[in-house]
Amino acid sequence: MRFYQWVFILFYAVTVINYPRAGQVTTFECTSDVSREAAFYLYDLSARLLWKKEVSLQAGRTSQTGWDGYSDFNERAGNGIYLYRLIDLNSRKVIGKGKVWIINR
State residue 12's pLDDT score.
Answer: 43
State residue 30's pLDDT score.
Answer: 87
> Which DSSP helix (H) or strand (E) runs through 7?
strand 5-9
By the 8 A CB rule, do 88 and 36 touch? yes
By the 8 A CB rule, do 33 and 14 touch? yes
State residue 32's pLDDT score.
Answer: 87
Output 43 or 70, whichever has higher pLDDT. Answer: 43
Give residue-wise pLDDT tens across range 76-98: 888 888 999 999 999 999 998 98
Distant-in-sequence, close-in-space partners of 49: CB < 8 Å, separation ≥ 6: 41, 42, 43, 72
pTM of this prediction? 0.77
Output 105 or 29, whichever has higher pLDDT. Answer: 29
Distant-in-sequence, close-in-space partners of 104: CB < 8 Å, separation ≥ 6: 78, 79
Calpha distance 87→98 (Å, rounded) = 12
| Domains of the chain, each with CATH number or no CATH | 2-102 (2.60.40.4070)
Give residue-wise pLDDT tens across range 6-50: 443 333 445 666 666 555 678 888 888 889 999 999 999 999 999
Dihedral sign of CA atoms 28, 32, 11, 37 in order: positive
State residue 4's pLDDT score.
Answer: 45
